[in-house]
Amino acid sequence: MKETIRAGVRVEGVVQGVGFRPFVYSLATSLGLTGLVGNDVDGVFAEVEGDAEAVAKFLALLEQQAPPLARIDRVTSTRLRPQGSAQFVIAASEHSGERRALISADSATCADCLRELADPADRRYRYPFVNCTNCGPRFTIVTGVPYDRALTTMSSFRMCEQCAAEYHDPADRRFHAQPVCCPACGPRVLLTDAAGAPLARGDDDPLAAAAAVIRAGHVLAVKGLGGYHLVVDAGSEEAAAALRGRKHREDKPFAVMVPDAAAAGRLCVVDETARGLLTSNRRPIVLLPRRPEAGDQIAVSVAPGNSHLGLMLPYTPLHHLLLELVGRPIVATSGNVSDEPIAYRDADARERLAGIADAFLLHDRAIHIRTDDSVVRAAGGREAVVRRSRGYAPEPLRLRHALRRPVLACGAELKNTFCLAKQDRAFVSHHIGDLENAETLLSFATGVEHFRRLFDIEPELVAHDLHPDYLSTKYAADLDGVELTGVQHHHAHIASCLADNDADGPVIGVAFDGTGYGTDGTIWGGEFLIADLTTFSRAGCLEQVPMPGGAAAIRHPWRMAAAYLAAAYPDGVPDGLAVLQRNDAAWAPVTAMAARGINSPLTSSAGRLFDAVAALLGVRDSINYEGQAAIELEQLADQSEQAGYQATVSGGEVVGIRGSDLVRAAAEDLALGTSRHIIAARFHNGVASAITAVCAALRERHGLHAVALSGGVFQNLLLTTTVTGQLAEAGFTVLTHSRVPCNDGGISLGQAAVAGARDRQRLL
Ligand SMILES: [Zn+2]
Ligand SMILES: [Zn+2]
């Protein structure tokens, strides 16, 4: 005789608004089970009753066959007394209690919806807002919790009868799909000129007219999922150059949207990992090496002087339709002027983009929260996130240890993200941007409030950078009734890498970046730390050099070349260096200023060392965006070159690397007429060898065998690959970033991990 049992099942994670209940319903009924399924504040609960074998099968398949957007954290089951229930039902939602249910990230249009989009017999044929429980907008339209249509920007659209029937039918793919809509009841697109006057009227298809705008070489502003894009024909030099001019963006590459992975493969080298990233439902921009032979298909002004291209595939039905109508790759860059935050509200977009866009493709579904496109690259067969935003946020990262008290981590200044964390979940925010102006600060503060409400987190502990002038530090200091904990910038980088790898340390942490406030008040950035999650000691660093003119030295790498050459040649810099000749007039005053220590703060920054060598090699004397000189130096390097320069590694309590040795070696090779490609490679190899040598010395001293690499300099794949190889060969375990950026976008996670660890060990 078969045994009848009843099991209570609880599923936690991203399980609401992703079609989980209908999935449970159909799984249970297909196995002949009775019972119920419902949503509550923790996620999804279910009770299943029937033959013991069928219940076991149900539990096994629950995780294996979960809907595509579900991310299951935990499934727990308990044995209940059988009730003799006759059918399986979907129970009403329960909204009381502490909220632990999660909100899904936005997701690219699924295959089923794309099929409907292309089917003339379907009622959503060519409808730019088709979506279902497996795809569509989520985070960007949610205004509050619980996740319900009334608390999304779809609340103003009343479902038609047909949509309502789908919405209420547990067997339908659109059961409780909150953004469900159709041409009869949902949002509409509108094409206007820059002044707001409609351009397509009556039977004119606004999308076809919009495509014509792009094909004619004009600039089109397109309202997307998390904000506005500025779009031009990627093959038109005239259009791309015009967009650059109007956006005041000189060299920073534009992202390009292509219809599918095959089109991406014609422009760039797409390996299996990259292909997976391109086609994932997160749909990030993927940085890919260009195929030289595909050069003429993409205008030079799209990514000037760059051997890589940022490609993405369409992620909304509107993008799919537009791309099909344009019939060639399009530039899709953020809708802003230079470094301002991306425009996402219609009135604001109209005002700020009026001087840039010739026409606007709008729609009437509001974007609640500004969310930029995410940027990733494939590194060593796995994903390395460069900017974690749309498609990723607000998915939590699991912390290795549950927090004692809820934490807010305020992040850094550039590429800011914040992180709210509770128990074992860390919600790293979408990309906020550079906290250098009032608008970004407002975006930061409203973002924190939004996350607090969505995830029901009342922070008691607040982590911040040590830099007293960062707006994020000031924000923390202004909060009432919370305990503050300062986390040194590079310690936060290493802690972020530990958290990214689910590790505790201690490790040898190598934090190489541009700028971070040191505990001694100087600017750090080429640091070797002995670190765990609570504390660190500075065990080594690049030898300090002056930054002549402070911030001016960041904007003008030739100034760093001057400072480094002065250190490399104490008896006088040799004549004939091209960098000196190019900057002849200002050279003497700048070196004199540095020598006298006037407005020349000392730095151990690795970013500045890369800048110096880039200027020395004539890559560039001034930059137009952060990291430009280093990026171009990496691309210049001949990757087949194996030799490397030697830097002196000095002993002492804090081990020093003499970076000026590398600059001198490069200058001498240059004087010998060695190719710049070879010199760039030898410099990279030299930095890698110096890192390995210092790690080996620290292993002797501290007995540590694990190295964590973090900081924006490790976005340099040539350096990271070389140093990772060397360290592994020397017997080290190497931790690198994957889920959060190695740049300052990952700082907030590290701060949260440090705050939590200090709290757990009662060190506060
Ligand atoms: Zn769908
Ligand atoms: Zn409808």
User: Could you report the per-residue pLDDT of 715-755, keeping only the tens digit for each?
Assistant: 999 999 999 999 999 999 999 999 999 999 999 999 999 99
Concatenated DSSP letters of 257-321: E-SSHHHHHHHB---HHHHHHHHSTT--EEEEEBPGGGGGGS-GGGSTT-SEEEEE---SHHHHH
Q: Is the peptide bond before 506 cis (omega within 30 degrees of 0)?
A: yes
Ligand 1 centroid to residue 281 C-alpha, Å: 11
Residue 214 has which token pair? 């792009």
Residue 109 Cα to ligand 1 midpoint, Å, equals 5
Bridge partners for 734 per DSSP: 707
Question: Ligand 2 centre and the CA of 180: distance in Å?
Answer: 7
CA dihedral 83, 86, 88, 89 (to 10 degrees): -90
Euclidean distance between the first and the last CA atom of the chain, given in angstroms as a whole number: 61
DSSP track, 169-197: -TTSTTTT-TT---TTTS--EEEEETTS-
Cβ neighbors of 213 (< 8 A, separation 6 or more) are 191, 199, 220, 358, 359
DSSP 542: E
- What residue type is 550 in one-letter code? G
Strand ranges of the sheet holding 228-233, from the earlier edge strand across to the other edge: 189-193, 359-363, 220-223, 228-233, 330-334, 255-257, 308-312, 285-289, 375-379, 382-387
Q: 165 C-alpha to center of ligand 2: Å?
A: 9
User: Quick one: which ligand is closest to 185's CA?
Assistant: 2
- What's the 391 CA to ligand 2 centre distance in angstroms? 26
322 to 24, 129, 237, 361, 375: CA distances (angstroms): 36, 13, 20, 10, 22
∠ CA 371-271-290, nearest 5°, is 75
Q: Separation of 95 CA from ligand 2 center, angstroms?
A: 27
Q: Which ligand is nearest to the CA of 164?
A: 2
Contacts of 700 (CB under 8 A, 6+ apart): none
The Cα–Cα gap between 752 and 398 comes to 12
Q: In terms of Cα–Cα distance, which of 465, 483, 478 is closest to 406?
A: 483
Residue 50, pLDDT score: 95
CA of 130 to the centre of ligand 1 (A): 7
Distance, CA 160 to ligand 2 centroid (Å)? 4
Nearest ligand to the C-alpha atom of residue 320: 1
User: Could you tell me the distance, in angstroms and rounded to a whole number, from the CA of residue 158 to the centre of ligand 2?
Assistant: 8
Distance 132 CA to ligand 1 centre (A): 4
Using DSSP's 3-state secondary structure scheme, residue 595 falls into: helix
The reported pLDDT for the residue numbered 96 is: 61
Closest among 160, 534, 113 to 316, alpha carbons compared: 113
pTM comes to 0.94
Q: How far is the CA of 362 from the centre of ligand 1 (A)?
A: 22
pLDDT, position 99: 63
Q: How far is the CA of 318 from the centre of ligand 2 (A)?
A: 17
**HSE-CB of 442 using CA atoms within 13 angstroms:** 7
| Residue 321 identity | L
Look at residue 58 in the predicted model and tell me its pLDDT: 95
Distance from chain centroid for Cα 458: 25
User: Which bound ligand lies closest to the C-alpha atom of 184?
Assistant: 2
Structure tokens at 320: 């799919």
Q: CA-CA distance, 513 to 525, in Å (whole number)?
A: 5
Residue 126 Cα to ligand 1 midpoint, Å, equals 14
> Which ligand minimizes its atom distance to the CA of 127?
2
CA distance 160 to 60: 38
Element (H, E) at 360: strand 359-363
User: What are the Cα distances from residue 404, in Å, to 6, 25, 423, 645, 757?
Assistant: 35, 37, 7, 48, 9
**Cα(60)–Cα(55) distance, integer angstroms:** 9
Closest CA to 228 of 131, 362, 359: 362
Residues of the chain with pLDDT under 50: none
